[in-house]
Structure 1
Amino acid sequence: MSEPADLSPTIIEALYDEALVLADEVRSAFDLSGRLDLAGRNEDLARIVLSCEALRTTTRMMHGIAWLLNQRAYFAGELSEFQLRHHGRLPPGQATADEAQLVMLGSDLVALIRHTERFHARIARLDAAWRDRFAMYPSAIHRLRDRLGNEMAAR
């Protein structure tokens, strides 16, 4: 099994640049002006759906940006590895929206929401792979000893 590539300042900077552009797109896309013409007769429900998705999407992006800022601080020497492991965890993603409600928002906004979900998932995979390096796995000797102990106890 090959080792996952370590995070590098180049990777983090590229992701950070992408996150800033995506966050700006999210900010402008969820501007309430002109969005509610899609609502039709369910204007109240459309407002609620729009508000919920705006909150989910901006929260997702801010979590990603915060994680990237912690990584940047680590590479700049402003955080130790211990501090990064302790305080730099990416929060889990939010629940996804009901597909029937997303239809009210229009295809361009739904595409942007999906883009932010994929971006968050990419960062979550990087965070999980980086944290996996620090997980305590029992050595082969300990696993063998446990298996032998279990076999002897079963007899």
Structure 2
Amino acid sequence: MGQAVTINSRILEGLYCEALVLSDEVRHTFTLSTRQDASEGHVGCEDDRVRVALSCEGLRTTTRMMHAVAWLLNHRAYFMGELSEFQLRRHGRLMAEMCRSDPEQLQLLTAETQALVKTTLRFYNRLLRLDRSWREAGEEAPSAIASLRERLEQRLAG
């Protein structure tokens, strides 16, 4: 099994820049697709399915990237000393549910849009692995209360 990955400010800044670029691509792609769809004035069941798929996957993908950026911003705040580790662990959690996409709806989208959605899924999964690794590493370290209790026990015993 691989070694746990630690998060540092350099890695975080790279991920943050990548997230901003991806978010901009998502906004551009789904805004452009919606405009093209509206201007073409499609009518019919298949066109309706494509519009629904575009709306649903656009919302999923946008929400996924918003969660990723929020997670990265929380970690940036932690590294800048604006959040404590306790606050980050309590409020800076990624949700695994954001990794899902509907395969049937995804197939209705253009190849370029499918590729972008899959790229955001891979990016989010990378963040999930980092988050999981960081949380597991923190579980190994004793909590502040456990450390205090241990010091008190040593003083009382000695």
Q: What TM-score do you get using the length of structure 1 for normalisation?
A: 0.79
Report the counterpart of residue 121 of structure 1 in structure 2. 125
The reply on whether 1:98 has 2:103 as its aligned counterpart is yes
Trace 1:56-71 onto structure 2 (pairs within 5 A): 56-71=60-75
The reply on whether 1:9 has 2:9 as its aligned counterpart is yes
CA distance in 1 between counterparts of 2:83 and 2:106 reads 40
Q: Aligned pair in 2 of structure 1 residues 110, 2: CA closer, same or farther (>3 Å)?
A: closer
Query: Which runs of no fewer than 5 residues in structure 2 stay unpaired?
Result: 142-158
Q: Aligned pair in 2 of structure 1 residues 2, 26: CA closer, same or farther (>3 Å)?
A: closer
Contact 2:5 2:130 in 1 (8 A): no
SS at match of 1:135: helix
Residue 5 of structure 1 and its aligned partner are, at CA, apart by 3.3
Residue 93 of structure 1 and its aligned partner are, at CA, apart by 3.1
How many pairs does the alignment contain? 135
Q: Which runs of 4+ in 1 moved over 4 A?
A: none
RMSD over aligned CA atoms reads 2.0
Q: What TM-score do you get using the length of structure 2 for normalisation?
A: 0.78
Listed one character per residue, the Cα deviations across residues 90-118 of structure 1 (whole Å, up to 9, x for unaligned) are 1223332123x323211000000000000
Report the counterpart of residue 30 of structure 1 in structure 2. 30
CA distance in 2 between counterparts of 1:3 and 1:105 reads 38
Listed one character per residue, the Cα deviations across residues 57-89 of structure 1 (whole Å, up to 9, x for unaligned) are 001000100000000000000001111111111
Q: Aligned pair in 2 of structure 1 residues 16, 126: CA closer, same or farther (>3 Å)?
A: same
Give the residue type in structure 2 aligned to 1:109: T
